[in-house]
Amino acid sequence: MTSAIITVAPTGPIASKRDNPHLPTQPHEIADAVAEAVAAGATVAHLHFRDENDLPTADLDIARRTIDLVKERSSVLIQVSTGVGLGVSFDDRAALVELRPEMATLNPCSMSFGPAEFSNPPAKVEQLAGRMRELGIKPELEVYDTGHLEVGLKLLERDLIPHPLQMSIVLGVPGGMSATAENLMLMVRRLPPEAVWQVVAVGRANLELTAIALALGGNARAGLEDTLHLRRGELSRGSTPLVQRAVALAHAVDRDVASDAETRERLNL
Ligand code: KMH
Ligand code: ZN
């Protein structure tokens, strides 16, 4: 099997330091967390940004400052989240690609996201995909349901996103598919053979589904964005223990962890 690409997701849109005091929120904290995770084997950093009050933000200065600090510490590939956080407008979220990261997420469909609405109107999604293509930014599709996958495959068919398809199968968001092995298999069976994919299992099933995905040939995402715990009742002391666990799982199923060069080659960057 191919080597496993490990993405670190140190900070998401929802959790706060009250939920886990090790959650990095400020630019230097995020840069420290990524540097540690890279030393443990991560080659991609999936980044959300927070303002001085620790709230999710698409502020370009904060994003630029964070990215610069991350880049000072390693040659990790930067993947900016254009999901950002609930309550931030699509246009503000989309503007983050103007910072020209190597990669950015593309959330192809609107949905309920817990108690809120996650708005991704089709015309705006296509516009963002087009802008990413112009700027040479690799999109990672974030699919939370079977219909999202079909929309993503249509974008690929219409050449609005480049080959190979890169995808996160996100399971466990209230409003999307639940985090079960059956749902993961349903999605994986529908992927084109060239697809580069990982599971983003939110919450309790993170360990099991990450293990299954690695055994199936998928990649792994690890970090406090997706789970705050290492195991039931034990908060993870940052993202590094989760990255180390993903590396151990990859080795347990006889896979190497992708280097920077292998990651770039597999994603055709
Ligand atoms: N926060 C995850 C549920 C994005 O940032 O664009 C999905 C995610 C999407 O990581
Ligand atoms: Zn994210």
Ligand 1 neighbour 202 (Cβ under 6 A): yes
Residue 246 CA to ligand 1 centre (angstroms):
18
**What per-residue confidence (pLDDT) applies to 27?**
98
Q: Which residues, in sequence order, are CB contacts of 234 under 8 Å at separation 6+? A: none
Strands 111-113 and 116-118: antiparallel
Residue 142 CA to ligand 1 centre (angstroms):
7
Q: What is the pLDDT of residues 57-75, one digit of tens each?
A: 999 999 999 999 999 999 9
Q: What is the pLDDT of residues 176-227, one digit of tens each?
A: 999 999 999 999 999 999 999 999 999 999 999 999 999 999 999 999 999 9
Residue 144 CA to ligand 1 centre (angstroms):
10
Beta bridge partners of 106: 141
Residue 126 CA to ligand 1 centre (angstroms):
18
As a whole number, mean pLDDT of residues 103-130 equals 97
CA nearest to 210, candidates 6, 2, 3: 6
The CA distance from 232 to 235, in Å, is 8
Ligand 1 neighbour 142 (Cβ under 6 A): yes
- The secondary structure of residue 87, as a DSSP letter, is T
Residue 227 CA to ligand 2 centre (angstroms):
12
CA dist 100 → 54, 111, 151, 170 (Å): 24, 27, 25, 24
Look at residue 22 and tell me whether its pLDDT is greater than 90.
yes
Number of Cβ within 10 Å of residue 139's Cβ equals 26
Ligand 1 atom closest to the CA of 48, numbered from 1: 5
Ligand 1 atom closest to the CA of 113, numbered from 1: 3
The CA distance from 108 to 115, in Å, is 19
Ligand 1 neighbour 107 (Cβ under 6 A): yes
Token output for 193? 């053979």
Ligand 1 atom closest to the CA of 84, numbered from 1: 5
Q: What is the pLDDT of residues 150-160, one digit of tens each?
A: 999 999 999 99
